[in-house]
């Protein structure tokens, strides 16, 4: 899949004009790229559009306009764009209460390794997690993980064929699974060659 370049980005001045419309477009796009697994785990699937939004927002917030610094942002976010044979997501553990979140993160060490994807009865695929840096300690896991599901050709064909696609977690302290809606599966198809 195509990675972002400086030519894909709005200038800071243009972005200030386009931001509201662009944000609305991205939010509508993201609505079909979100998968809840139980009440507290969420996968947010990334692609070039979601990463462009992240980069644009970082450039805006930090007032970055120098070519070298823009390239640093692109280099940081481009690895989160799928490569055509995988799905990439931000995996979040969401608890609104601070104390509940702290207790859950202590209980859920290793949850990112208990995550799985399954297409129509094919073998479950576990993601590669947190390639950028370690996100857990001996005492707790992080509320945010970055995951990459490497798909076999059979799984890609199954998804393209319209078969069910499920995600789940089989952690001893958190066990849920969900078969995603067809509109989400259709959106994720855009990430595959």
Residue ranges of the domains in the chain? Answer: 95-193
Handedness of CA 129, 133, 136, 141 (dihedral sign): negative
Q: What percent of the chain has pLDDT over 90?
A: 84
Bridge partner residues of 168 (DSSP): 116, 177
Q: Which helix (H) or strand (E) holds 181?
A: none
- Tell me if the pTM is above 0.85: yes
| Average pLDDT per 10 consecutive residues for the chain, totaling 193 residues | 91 95 97 97 97 96 92 92 94 96 96 95 90 78 95 90 94 96 93 90
Work out the angle at residue 140's Cα, subtended by the Cα atoms of residues 137 and 144, and round it to the nearest 5 degrees.
95
Token representation of residue 92: 């979040």
Q: Share the mean pLDDT of the chain.
A: 93
pLDDT in tens, 57-105: 999 999 988 999 999 999 999 999 999 999 999 999 999 999 999 999 9
């Amino acid at each position: 899949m195509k990675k972002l370049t400086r030519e894909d980005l709005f200038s800071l001045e243009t972005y200030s004009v386009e931001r509201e419309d662009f944000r609305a477009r991205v939010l509508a796009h993201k609505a079909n790229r979100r998968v809840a697994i139980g009440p507290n785990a969420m996968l947010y699937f990334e692609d070039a559009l979601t990463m462009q939004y992240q980069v644009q927002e970082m450039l805006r917030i930090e007032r970055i306009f120098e070519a070298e610094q823009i390239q640093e942002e692109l280099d940081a976010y481009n690895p989160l764009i799928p490569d055509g044979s995988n799905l990439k997501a931000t995996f979040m553990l969401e608890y609104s209460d601070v104390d509940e979140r702290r207790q859950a993160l202590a209980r859920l060490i290793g949850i990112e390794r208990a995550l799985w994807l399954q297409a129509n009865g094919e073998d479950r695929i576990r993601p590669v997690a947190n390639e950028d840096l370690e996100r857990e300690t001996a005492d707790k896991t992080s509320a945010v993980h970055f995951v990459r599901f490497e798909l076999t050709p059979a799984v890609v064909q199954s998804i393209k064929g319209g078969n069910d696609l499920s995600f789940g977690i089989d952690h001893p302290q958190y066990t849920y699974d969900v078969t995603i809606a067809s509109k989400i599966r259709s959106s994720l198809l855009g990430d595959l060659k």
